[in-house]
Amino acid sequence: MSRLDSFIRRMTAQRTLLDAACAEAASLDGPILEIGLGNGRTFDHLREHLPGRRIIAFDRVLAAHLSCVPAEDDLVLGEIRVTAPRFAGIGAALAHVDIGTGNDALDRQTLEWLPDLTASLVQRGGIVVSGLPLDHPALAALPLPDSVPAERYYMYRRR
């Protein structure tokens, strides 16, 4: 499979799972978290599908398209490992976690803290959609739609 095909599959899986997660989050109170704002594409998708909801976005630097810059109070810049713990207990309805790099060594380091952090941010019954597998006792893996290939993108419910 070419890298282009692989990229398209990943983005398609991402959108499919975000759409499913937004449908669930619509009936839950609590903010939405975009962990890895990047260019702002998925932030834009989340705000389109969950209009009026508070979306708090995290990244080390602001590099989003001008049309996708969150409100000042909802943009948290800096290392997520340092900035996000102060939001523990916020009871997010949905967290989209998109900070994988494709570099196995870097991603392994991230996975030393990311599952715990994510579990601390999401309410019981809340949804997590992630580009990296989050192995944590409080995060139950949800079955993926048939159209989403295994290990391309992940979805969990907070126990």
Chain contacts with ligand SAM (rule: CB under 6 A): 36, 38-42, 59-60, 63, 79-81, 98-99
- Quick check: 131 and 14 in contact, CB under 8 A? yes
Residue in the structure block whose two tokens are 């282009």: 4
Compute φ and ψ for 151, nearest 5 degrees: 60, 25
Measured from the CB atom, is 47 or 59 closer to ligand SAM?
A: 59
Distances (CA, A) of 98 to 44, 49, 55: 14, 18, 14
Residue nearest to ligand SAM (CB): 38
Q: How far is the CB of 131 from ligand SAM (least distance, A)?
A: 7
Q: How far is the CB of 26 from ligand SAM (least distance, A)?
A: 20
Q: How far is the CB of 22 from ligand SAM (least distance, A)?
A: 14
Measured from the CB atom, is 106 or 141 closer to ligand SAM?
A: 106
Return the ∠ at Cα 131 (arms to 108 and 71), rounded to 5°.
Answer: 110
Compute φ and ψ for 55, nearest 5 degrees: -120, 120
Measured from the CB atom, is 63 or 88 closer to ligand SAM?
A: 63
Q: How far is the CB of 36 from ligand SAM (least distance, A)?
A: 3
Measured from the CB atom, is 105 or 159 closer to ligand SAM?
A: 105
3-class state of residue 129 by DSSP: strand
